[in-house]
Structure 1
């Protein structure tokens, strides 16, 4: 939206309250955060771990799903009724206000589907609602070919669908001249500590890697429900000196970690509920910092990684092949350099927000 605003368009963002100010301007974009439950101090649905996990905390939070939908409609009708276009991120749960705006004021809307809402709609028997939001939209954008295919498999209208990937801020995520520990090969992974991120398999792969190379260290950055389980696995495999989990860090700290690492790995899987990676934005961040990457051949990750060109793809949950891929890059600096340069160039050409905003502008201008 920052890039869209640079083209002379006025951008207004309506989002749920997660703390702090309720109205402010962020890089020329006006932001309003709406309250969705009263008394306000009991609002616990949004922020923190995200709606999907927060809603598990009890009846009061589950009830806030209903009040969220109500206040989404109220604030949409009150604050967005003079817009030319409404762009919905996550049609479930955010699409209801846009649908009311279309029906009452005739304002067209488009959706961006990130992947998980398709899986959740299917799991909770709400596909009818997702179809309703998509079929009433002027256009619905998927963030990857995997998300698009998931939409098609679940009966969404093909002619309404398009692919525009998520991007990365290449002005922030970029190579820095940071000295690296030449005596230790640093592997970095970043993500929410949940099943579908597959961190268990990465930890087990590092155990195998250490049989051939002792000077390897894994850092996983993130928090989530599997934190204690993953820490227990590190202890069980006696990896305390070679693997650690860091709580969420600031963007500036993460930038430093990308640039001080030798390899980035995203070992995502299809989890026990059938959910998987929509795209894998952390891969783009790592590649923008000229870091070689390994990813699982699942979900939207193959949209980012072309095997042996911009990174390495491995089968999900395959500890042996993942460890072999890591060993290959530890032992082959030329391949590391090739993947790093190619990945860096690809992100700058195809996944930077400036170029992606042009794709969205084409959609807006076609309405």
Structure 2
């Protein structure tokens, strides 16, 4: 089976997930090609330039594919012009809501009006989030296939042993408004520990910092399901996160982690300081979280779900 993946980038977030899926599919005998498209590296021009350059590239691409799989809404504009028997689009959040938080009202209104049309470019829609699946069904009456994003535990062999840093707190992800990093920075002076922000660094460096920490904090205002939570679970690092998106699907409060409401700095602060002081509770939660991730979210558990999905498209 010949498959083309399209993503603005192949690292971090949904792009990183696309790259990992491509790797695993190749290991299972699929022929997967990644389309690389240039873009203008200016905030409000990145996605539009990617879509324009990608459409031009797709129009002149003479290859034909069994499946073209676009990752996130901007890639759908490129996917539309690719010659393929089946077209798949994956989203890891409610795109119009993400734009609403990050951009102007005019941009948000334009995207919201176009969203349903763009999603219909695809023959099949997928998401890694049950909450996204439910919301799009209620909002636009669209059906999404749920394909959870697995954790590749073999990659952790690249992470060396590190010494724990007393009361170190890790943040892993983009430094942006929807991720709530401003909330974490505002309470930082009152936290009884030191925060290391793993934002612009390689995955290996981020994991080394996470492994050396006592807790991962996810202060997001909106999410699907951050991969960093699964990574922390595997490394047996307890997690404090907000109850947005699919986070409550994996974090059972005081069992596999601690859940707090979004946009509540005081409760987030209290949870962090309390867990730093209760090492026994932190250790117990980390063990439960590790068991949960090994049972539900490794590639060994989920690879057949992916291979069956692509085989059933033909």
Q: Is TM-score (shorter-chain normalized) higher than 0.5?
A: yes
Correspondence 1:316 to 2:293: no
1-structure distance, mates of 2:95, 2:35 = 19
2-structure distance, mates of 1:128, 1:76 = 25
**Other-structure match for 1:15:** 36
- Which secondary structure does the structure 2 equivalent of 1:321 belong to? helix
**Other-structure match for 1:165:** 148
**Other-structure match for 1:99:** 80
Residue deviations 1:125-166 (CA, integer Å, cap 9, x gap) = 234543234334232112212322332343142xx3122222
Correspondence 1:360 to 2:306: yes
1:75-224 alignment, distance < 5 Å: 75-79=57-61, 81-90=63-72, 92-101=73-82, 105=83, 107-115=85-93, 117-120=95-98, 123-157=108-142, 160-173=143-156, 177-181=161-165, 184-210=166-192, 216-222=193-199
1-structure distance, mates of 2:62, 2:136 = 28
1:121–1:318 CA distance, 2 compared to 1 (3 A): closer
Structure 1: unaligned runs, 5 residues or longer:
18-35, 37-42, 46-53, 56-60, 211-215, 223-247, 270-275
Conserved? CA contact 1:187–1:219, under 8 Å: yes
Correspondence 1:259 to 2:201: no
Correspondence 1:6 to 2:27: yes
**What displacement does 1:95 show?**
1.0
Larger Rg: 1
Runs of 4+ in structure 1 displaced over 4 angstroms?
A: none
1:340–1:80 CA distance, 2 compared to 1 (3 A): farther
2-structure distance, mates of 1:146, 1:114 = 10
**Other-structure match for 1:234:** none
1:323–1:126 CA distance, 2 compared to 1 (3 A): closer
**Other-structure match for 2:11:** none
Structure 2: unaligned runs, 5 residues or longer:
1-21, 101-107
1-structure distance, mates of 2:156, 2:189 = 30
Correspondence 1:280 to 2:301: no
Conserved? CA contact 1:288–1:347, under 8 Å: yes
1:129–1:108 CA distance, 2 compared to 1 (3 A): farther
Residue deviations 1:64-99 (CA, integer Å, cap 9, x gap) = 82x543432232244474211111101x21112322
Find the partner of 2:285 among 339, 345, 353: 339
2-structure distance, mates of 1:129, 1:288 = 39
The two structures have a TM-score, normalised by structure 2, of 0.80
